[in-house]
Amino acid sequence: MLDGDVTDAMESRSLSHQLQHIDVYSASWGPEDDGKTVDGPGKLAQMAFRNGIQMGRRGLGSIFVWASGNGGTSHDNCNCDGYTNSIYTLGVGSVSEHGSVPWYAELCSSTLAVTYSSGGRGERGVLTVDFAFNSRLSNISKKITIIQNCSKDYAIVVGVV
């Protein structure tokens, strides 16, 4: 998905991969966060969403968690993102440690939940640590992730869902 051109067929395969075993799908792809682009899933991806909510989780419906976007500086609006504003997805955005909207966040009604992330200068961010590492200190820097934008926030929600 992350290397080269992404097609509708590739998105469809990703959204329906191992449907009988995966309950919650999380993603952050979508149209450019440039404040100009309005786009969404193609016909095959739309079919994969519908199939997932009807057949996934052994008939209970797959859960699709989607990042609401990082185009705030371009005045982008995630209502124009057909993935985040889909009736099949849970749109997730960011909030700073003080409960304020971060500089990169896209404001829109399709954001259904927020999680803590980085905010402005001087505000703390979120740090995650992978505990499945060799206990030698030299390895720890390879296993730490600093959450700095909305594209990673949805992963926190996936853990809650």
Q: How confident is the chain (161 residues) per 10-residue block, as mean pLDDT?
A: 84 95 91 94 98 96 93 93 95 88 90 84 70 51 50 62 69
Q: What superfamily would CATH give domain 8-117+150-160?
A: Peptidase S8/S53 domain (3.40.50.200)
Helix-strand-coil percent breakdown of the chain, rounded to 5? 30, 20, 50
Residue pair 91/112 in contact by the 8 Å Cβ criterion: yes
The CA distance from 139 to 72, in Å, is 35
pTM over 0.75: yes
**Residue 40: its pLDDT value, please?**
96
pLDDT given at position 31: 92
17-25: Cβ within 8 A, 24+ apart: 19/51, 19/52, 19/55, 19/56, 19/62, 20/58, 22/56, 22/62, 23/56, 23/57, 23/62, 23/63, 24/62, 24/63, 24/64, 24/65, 24/158, 24/161, 25/52, 25/62, 25/63, 25/64, 25/65
Residues 6 or more apart in contact with residue 123 via CB below 8 angstroms: 96, 97, 98
3-state secondary structure of 12: helix
* 119 vs 1: CA distance, rounded Å: 28
Q: What is the pLDDT of residue 140?
A: 47
Q: Are the beta carbons of 25 and 61 closer than 8 angstroms?
A: no
- Domain extent listing, the chain: 8-117+150-160
